[in-house]
């Protein structure tokens, strides 16, 4: 099963990749500088060693058939000019040590004739760079082979090498830091149009479906184009469905209103009980279908808005006052008295006012609908937090077995078949509550036979 | 009086366990723990003030053994004698000890302040710079022009053979390390060295082991002139030795550095290091400089300044230690200086 | 009361006009915004019932202009749209109330009454019979300076009798006025409200009389 990894930041990826490249370049630079510089210093040492050995070899002479050597002062002093390295030498004639250090090893290996041969070896607990220079000598017509070995420790080389390493490291690190800083800037710069675009889109309200006009680089043009195309299609689809809903509602509701009104008029004129009964059934059917349609539409709207809450600060007391003023004419028709019980202190909730109003109205509407005539409904704001917007009635209440499933879609109480209802009212309330991080609570009214329904909202 | 120093050499009770020969050995018990053993070419009289001043600060016991530079080399190079500090005026031999891995590395704040030419490999540390001078009998030169360079000296000797015959002194370079060092540096520095040696040889030049003997001889009038005498010794003697003139040549002056090193065999390298620090800071103690007559290392004076030719520490000094080169040099020298 | 009904659906308009007539109200009907504006300029209405979707424009436009002209005539909007999306906009534009189609006529009447009450009402809401003054807007009866407040159903019942004093109203007729079609009540329920009304009327000259087998009527007590 494939799983999406954690979200990846383009900027971070860009910076990391550029930094990696910079690091790679730094390291490559470091090593190449070291190789070149150390090669150069080693070559310098080799050259001096060869010059030293050659000048010694040149100082080999024969005196009355005896091979002698008078080592020039400069031959060894030149080795001490740059560094304080230890110096060893050995002059060999036909394998016999003429002078110098008997135990000094002779560099070995293939070489072209009369060319100095170099070697690096350990000697007297130290690492030495050594050279051997050969020279032919004729003594009493006998050919003699003279070898001059000069060896020097690599202290000076090591010092130079460490200086080079320090310099190379410093330059490499400086290069890396500069390159990384620059690549961070570059990435930021390159991605700033993207951030601007994201900001421009994120800043929009849920209903802002204008095309994106932020200035974007050519690379983002397809994205912006695609986005705008999508927005246009979405906008068209939304407009279409909104128009459709409105149109449908209008088309259906207006004839229904006609039918209902006509039925009412006829009902008033009818005398025979069975005719009146038929008309009443007709009116109730109209009411039922219109109410269902209304709640279905409301539910759809609530679902739509819940995805993109347009929250603002609301006084929950206002919500209750508002719902009461809207519904008290309906309650009056049944001589139902509504009392409002608000706390002293002002409360605030954060929410979508239209959704919350709808939810509160649904609760109160339910209470009025299921309350008998001449009863009381108490609307109460219980300060929290979380605060409770509570509506208690003296109606028939809920059957205990219904409470858990009531907020489900199209689920109605088992004891309310005689009342018109779609079963969506409490579903809407619950959805609104959940969209606001709250809950719907249903319980029995402790001060009477009825029910208490509460919309619980986080408050401060 | 030739090889006069040999008598002195034999008179010193040398430790039986040692094959090398000591000229003198002196102990300076300290109040604290630790024992610093020094093998030195410097006379006890010269070095004693330093030891006392050092002990005033560090309570270690000190054994101070005096030997010739050749014996110092034998002791340390061939026999591995256990010393904590080797002090020698023979820069070439000290260099060879360090080059061949017989010296320990040491560094401290005091050695860091030494000028670069006054140390090598952080193993050899110079603490005096001593010019080679000409010492003259003042009385004898009342009538003669004082030579100011080697050509002048040759001319003087040639012009007055009767006056100088048998009354010239110089180091026996076969015996004296300092003498060999000065002679080989002379041979490098001037074309007239061999001519001068031949002239001196014709005048039956007497050979000495040590500067002090030569100064004594000049002061007593047995010698009219001694060549390549350690200037520090000569100047130290001026006060109590009347009738002696000290002349620094104006063609060039070889300057020898007296150096110290810690041998690999050292048992108390820390104490030796303290002594090296003490010696390196000698210039800060004028009273000690006055007492010993040892001119301390001063940074500026080590540079080549016209006639002053400080002998450079480094592998160049190994050249004249080459056995064949030395052999050749000594043969030439002997044949020049001895023309019997 | 005189109503202006702005509604493009002729069937609904006819039905509503008939229904209003039953209640004794006068209704002028305008099928478009143009007619409506013409009507409001010539006649003073007690109430405007305004549909939103009209052939020559949006009812909300009419509402905006109506409010801009400082016309105090209350407006109740008859909407076919969803409550959630429209409500705020309508009230913000100056509608006094709104009702969603289809509606219970009783509810429309109740809302109209509530609006009138809120706005202060007019003098012709007060009727007098046998020394009893009945204010249908305030829902009070006054006799000899003594006022009594009526509940909603009592008031609506009294309204029927005040419309035609002396006339006999059948139980079913009274029930139609008092109960909605969703209330399944027996005809005897009307006796409860008649009983309450009689208690409120008490010793006044106005009396609700039972006419056995026919119904009730309001007569002056002899």
ipTM value for the complex: 0.85
Q: Would you say B168 and B157 are in contact if contact means Cβ atoms under 8 Å apart?
A: yes
- E strand or H helix at A56, and its extent? helix A10-58
More confident of the two residues B40 and A386 = B40
Interface of B with A in 84-123 (CB under 8 A): 98-101, 120-121
Closest-CA residue to B186 (of B126, B233, B132, B118): B132
Cis peptide before B114 (omega within 30 of 0): no
So what's the pLDDT on residue A414? 60
Chains C and B touch (3+ CB pairs under 8 A): no
Closest Cβ opposite residue C152 in set A254, A265, A335: A335
**Does the pLDDT of residue B1 top 70, yes or no?**
no
Interface of C with A (CB under 8 A): 9, 11-12, 15-16, 18-19, 22, 53, 78, 80-85, 87-88, 100-107, 110-111, 113-114, 151-153, 172-173, 176, 180-184
- Under the banding of pLDDT at 50, 70 and 90, the label for residue A5 is low
Query: In the predicted model, is pLDDT for residue A190 greater than 90?
Result: no
The tokens of B76 are what?
């340390």
Nearest-Å Rg of the Cα atoms of chain B is: 20
With touching defined as 3 or more inter-chain CB pairs under 8 Å, the answer for chains C and A is yes
> pLDDT per residue over B134-161, tens digit each?
999 988 888 888 998 999 999 999 999 9
Give the A:B interface size as CB pairs under 8 Å.
Answer: 59
pLDDT of residue B272: 95
Q: Is A438 on the interface with B (CB under 8 A)?
A: no
d(CA A370, CA A431): 22
DSSP character string of A316-378: HHHHHHHHHHHHHHHHHHTT-EEEEE--SS---EEE-HHHHHHHHHHHHHHHHHHSPTT-EEE
Tokens standing for B331?
A: 């043969």
Is the Cβ pair A262, C15 closer than 8 Å? yes
Give whole-number Cα distances, C181 to A288, A336, B191, C106, C154, in Å: 12, 17, 146, 10, 18
Q: Are B190 and B154 in contact (CB under 8 A)?
A: no
| DSSP conformation class of B77 | I
- pLDDT higher than 80, residue A209: no
pLDDT at C122: 57
- Sign of the dihedral through C-alpha B71, B77, B80, B85: positive
Check residue C81 and give its pLDDT. 66
Are A261 and C184 within 8 A, CB to CB? no
How does strand C26-30 pair with strand A87-93? unpaired
C-beta neighbour count of A403 within 10 angstroms:
16
Average pLDDT over residues C151-176: 85
Check residue A118 and report its DSSP letter.
E
Phi, psi dihedrals of residue A342, rounded to the nearest 5°:
-110, 145
The yes-or-no verdict on residue B4 having pLDDT over 50 is: no
- From A150, A152, A133, A134, select the one nearest A42 (Cα to Cα): A152
**pLDDT band for position C85 (cuts 50, 70, 90):** low
pLDDT of residue A421: 57
Is the model's pLDDT at B302 over the cut of 50?
no
pLDDT beyond 60 at B339: yes
Residue B75 carries which DSSP code?
I
Would you call A68 an interface residue with chain B, using a CB distance cutoff of 8 Å?
yes
Query: Which whole number is the average pLDDT over B14-36?
Result: 80
Rounded to an integer, what distance in angstroms lies between the CA atom of residue A151 and that of residue A130? 4
In chain B, the largest separation of any two C-alpha atoms, in whole Å, equals 62
* Poorest-pLDDT segment among A3-17, A236-250, A382-396, B128-142: A236-250
Q: Which chains touch B (3 or more CB pairs under 8 A)?
A: A
Is the pLDDT assigned to residue A379 strictly greater than 90?
Answer: yes
Per-residue pLDDT at A148? 94
Per-residue tokens: B224: 């009219």
Please name which of B236, B235, B238, B212 lies closest in space to residue B223, comparing C-alpha atoms.
Answer: B212
- pLDDT bucket at B8, cuts 50 / 70 / 90: very low
The chain B residue lying nearest A72, using CA atoms, is B319
Q: C152-163 and A316-333 helices cross at what angle (nearest 10)? A: 40
Say which range, A109-123, A209-223, A439-453, has the weakest mean pLDDT: A209-223
Crossing angle for the helix pair A316-333 and C105-119, nearest 10 degrees?
120
Stretch B256-260: mean pLDDT: 93
- CB count in 10 Å sphere of residue B331: 10
Between A262, A268, A335, which is nearest C151 by CB?
A335
Percent of chain C with pLDDT over 90: 3
Taking CA atoms, B97 is separated from B43, B44, B317, in Å, by 21, 23, 11
Mean pLDDT throughout B203-232? Answer: 91
CB C13 within 8 A of CB C29: yes
Predicted local confidence at residue B143, as pLDDT = 85
Residue A420 confidence (pLDDT) above 70: no
Q: Is the pLDDT of residue B307 over 50?
A: yes
The pLDDT, as a whole number, for residue A308 is 67
Residue C95 has pLDDT above 90, yes or no: no
Under a CB-based contact definition with an 8 Å cutoff, are residues C80 and A254 in contact?
yes
When pLDDT is cut at 50, 70 and 90, the band that residue B93 belongs to is very high
pLDDT tier at A417 (50, 70, 90 boundaries)?
low
Alpha-helical (H) ranges within chain C are 10-22, 33-42, 59-68, 83-92, 105-119, 152-163, 171-178, 189-201
Tokens of B118: 């006054």
Interface of A with C in 245-274 (CB under 8 A): 245-246, 249-250, 252-262, 264-265, 267-268, 271, 273
For the segment C41-60, what is each residue's pLDDT rounded down to a tens digit? Answer: 888 888 899 888 788 888 88
Q: Is pLDDT larger for residue B231 or for residue A8?
A: B231
C-alpha gyration radius of chain A: 50
Residue of B nearest to A126 (CA): B101
Task: Answer with the residue of higher pLDDT: A141 or C182.
Answer: A141
Average pLDDT over residues B319-328: 92
The predicted pLDDT at position A266 comes to: 86
Q: What is the pLDDT of residue B187?
A: 92
Write out the DSSP string of A58-115.
HTEEEETTEEEE---HHHHHGGGTT----EEEEEEETTEEEEE-TTPPPP-S---TT-
| Pairwise CA distance, residues C80 & C78, whole Å | 7
Rounded mean pLDDT, A27-52? 88
Which chains does A contact via 3+ CB–CB distances below 8 A?
A: B, C
Examine residue A294 and say whether the peptide bond preceding it is cis (omega within 30 degrees of 0).
no
Q: What percent of chain A has pLDDT over 90?
A: 16
Distance CA A118, CA A151 (A): 9
pLDDT, tens digit (0-9, with 9 covering 90-100), for C104-113:
888 888 888 8
Question: Could you give the CA distance from residue A410 to residue A423 in angstroms, rounded to a whole number?
Answer: 4
For B317, name the nearest residue in chain A, comparing CA atoms only. Answer: A77
The phi and psi torsions of B262 (rounded to 5 degrees) equal -100, 115
Residue A256 in contact with residue A279, Cβ under 8 Å? no
Average pLDDT of chain A to the nearest whole number: 83
């Amino acid at each position: 099963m494939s799983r999406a990894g954690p979200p990846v930041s383009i900027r971070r990826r860009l910076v990391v990749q550029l930094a990696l490249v910079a690091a790679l370049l730094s390291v490559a630079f470091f090593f190449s500088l070291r190789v070149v510089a150390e090669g150069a210093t080693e070559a310098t040492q080799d050259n001096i060693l060869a010059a030293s050995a050659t000048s010694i070899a040149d100082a080999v002479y024969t005196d009355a058939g005896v091979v002698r050597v008078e080592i020039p002062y400069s031959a060894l002093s030149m080795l001490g000019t740059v560094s304080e390295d230890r110096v060893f030498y050995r002059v060999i004639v036909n394998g016999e040590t003429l002078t110098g250090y008997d135990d000094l090893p002779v560099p070995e290996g293939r070489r072209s004739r009369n060319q100095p041969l170099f070697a690096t070896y350990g000697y007297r607990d130290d690492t030495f760079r050594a050279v051997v220079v050969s020279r032919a000598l004729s003594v009493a017509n006998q050919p003699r082979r003279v070898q001059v070995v000069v060896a020097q420790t690599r202290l000076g080389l090591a010092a130079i090498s460490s200086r080079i390493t320090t310099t190379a490291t410093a330059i490499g690190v400086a290069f890396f830091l500069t390159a990384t800083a620059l690549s961070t800037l570059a990435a930021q710069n390159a991605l700033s149009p993207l951030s601007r675009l994201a900001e421009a889109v994120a800043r929009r309200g849920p209903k802002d479906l204008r095309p994106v006009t932020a200035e974007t680089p050519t690379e983002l043009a397809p994205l912006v184009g695609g986005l705008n195309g999508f927005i246009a299609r979405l906008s068209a689809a939304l407009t279409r469905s909104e128009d459709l809903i409105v149109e449908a509602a209008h088309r259906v509701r207006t004839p229904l209103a006609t039918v209902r009104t006509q039925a009412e008029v006829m009902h008033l004129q009818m005398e025979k009980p069975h005719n009146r009964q038929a008309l009443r059934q007709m009116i109730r059917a109209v009411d039922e279908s219109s109410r269902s349609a209304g709640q279905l539409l409301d539910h759809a709207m609530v679902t739509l808005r819940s995805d993109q809450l347009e929250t603002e600060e609301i006084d929950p007391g206002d919500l209750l006052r508002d719902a009461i003023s809207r519904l008290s004419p309906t309650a009056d028709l049944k001589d139902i008295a509504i009392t409002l019980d608000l706390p002293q202190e002002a409360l605030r909730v954060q929410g979508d006012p239209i959704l919350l109003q709808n939810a509160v109205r649904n609760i109160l509407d339910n209470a009025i609908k299921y309350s008998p005539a001449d009863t009381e409904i108490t609307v109460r704001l219980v300060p929290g937090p979380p605060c409770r917007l509570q509506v208690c009635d003296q109606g028939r209440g809920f059957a205990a077995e219904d409470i858990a499933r009531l907020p489900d879609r199209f689920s109605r109480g088992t004891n309310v078949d005689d009342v018109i209802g779609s079963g969506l009212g409490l579903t809407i309330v619950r959805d609104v509550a959940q969209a606001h991080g709250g809950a719907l609570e249903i319980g029995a009214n402790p001060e009477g036979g009825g029910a208490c329904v509460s919309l619980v909202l986080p408050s401060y | 009086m030739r090889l006069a120093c040999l008598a002195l050499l034999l008179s010193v009770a040398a430790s039986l366990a040692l094959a090398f020969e000591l000229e003198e050995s002196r102990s300076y018990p300290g109040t604290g723990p630790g024992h610093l053993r020094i093998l030195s070419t410097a006379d006890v009289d010269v070095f004693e003030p330093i030891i006392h001043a050092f002990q005033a600060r560090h309570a270690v016991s000190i054994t101070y053994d005096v030997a010739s530079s050749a014996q110092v080399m034998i002791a340390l190079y061939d026999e591995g004698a256990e010393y904590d500090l080797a002090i020698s005026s023979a820069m070439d031999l000290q260099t060879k000890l360090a080059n061949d891995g017989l010296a320990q590395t040491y560094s401290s704040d005091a050695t860091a302040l030494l000028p670069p030419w006054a140390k090598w490999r952080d193993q050899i540390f110079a603490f005096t710079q001593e010019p080679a001078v000409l010492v003259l009998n003042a009385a004898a030169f009342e009538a003669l022009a004082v030579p100011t360079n080697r050509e002048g000296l040759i001319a003087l000797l040639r012009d007055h053979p009767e006056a100088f015959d048998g009354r010239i002194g110089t180091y026996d370079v076969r015996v004296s390390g300092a003498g060999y060092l000065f002679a080989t540096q002379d041979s490098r520095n001037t074309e007239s060295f061999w001519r001068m040696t031949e002239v001196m040889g014709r005048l039956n030049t007497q050979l000495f082991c040590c500067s002090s003997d030569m100064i004594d001889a000049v002061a007593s009038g047995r010698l009219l002139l001694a060549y390549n005498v350690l200037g520090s010794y000569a100047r130290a003697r001026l006060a109590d030795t009347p009738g002696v003139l000290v002349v620094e040549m104006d063609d060039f002056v070889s300057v020898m550095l007296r150096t110290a090193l810690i041998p690999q065999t050292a048992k108390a390298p820390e104490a030796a290091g303290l002594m090296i620090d003490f010696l390196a800071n000698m210039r800060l103690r004028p009273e000690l400089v006055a007492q010993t007559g040892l001119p301390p290392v001063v940074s500026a004076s080590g540079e080549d300044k016209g006639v002053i030719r400080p002998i450079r520490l480094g592998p160049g000094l190994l050249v004249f230690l080459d056995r064949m080169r030395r052999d050749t040099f000594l043969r030439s020298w002997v044949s020049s200086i001895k023309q019997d | 009361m005189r109503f202006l009904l702005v509604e493009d659906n002729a069937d609904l308009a006819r039905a509503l006009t008939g229904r209003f007539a039953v209640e004794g109200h006068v209704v002028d009907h305008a099928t478009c915004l143009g007619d409506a504006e013409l009507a409001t300029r010539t006649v003073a209405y007690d109430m405007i019932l305004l549909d939103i979707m009209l052939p020559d424009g949006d009812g909300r436009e009419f509402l905006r202009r109506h409010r801009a002209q400082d016309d105090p005539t209350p407006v109740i909007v008859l909407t076919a749209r969803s409550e959630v999306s429209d409500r705020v906009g309508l009230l913000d534009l100056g509608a006094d109330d709104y009702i969603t189609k289809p509606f219970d006529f009783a509810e429309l009447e109740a809302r109209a009454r509530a609006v009138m009450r809120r706005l202060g009402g007019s003098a012709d809401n007060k009727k007098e019979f046998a020394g009893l003054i009945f204010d249908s807007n305030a829902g009070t009866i006054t006799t000899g300076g003594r006022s009594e407040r009526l509940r909603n159903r009592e008031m609506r019942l009294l309204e029927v009798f005040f419309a035609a004093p002396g006339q006999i109203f059948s139980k079913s007729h009274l029930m139609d006025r008092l109960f909605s079609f969703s209330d399944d009540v027996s005809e005897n329920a009307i006796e409860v409200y008649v009983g309450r009304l009689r208690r409120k009327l008490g010793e006044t000259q106005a009396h609700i009389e039972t006419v056995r087998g026919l119904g009730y009527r309001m007569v002056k007590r002899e």
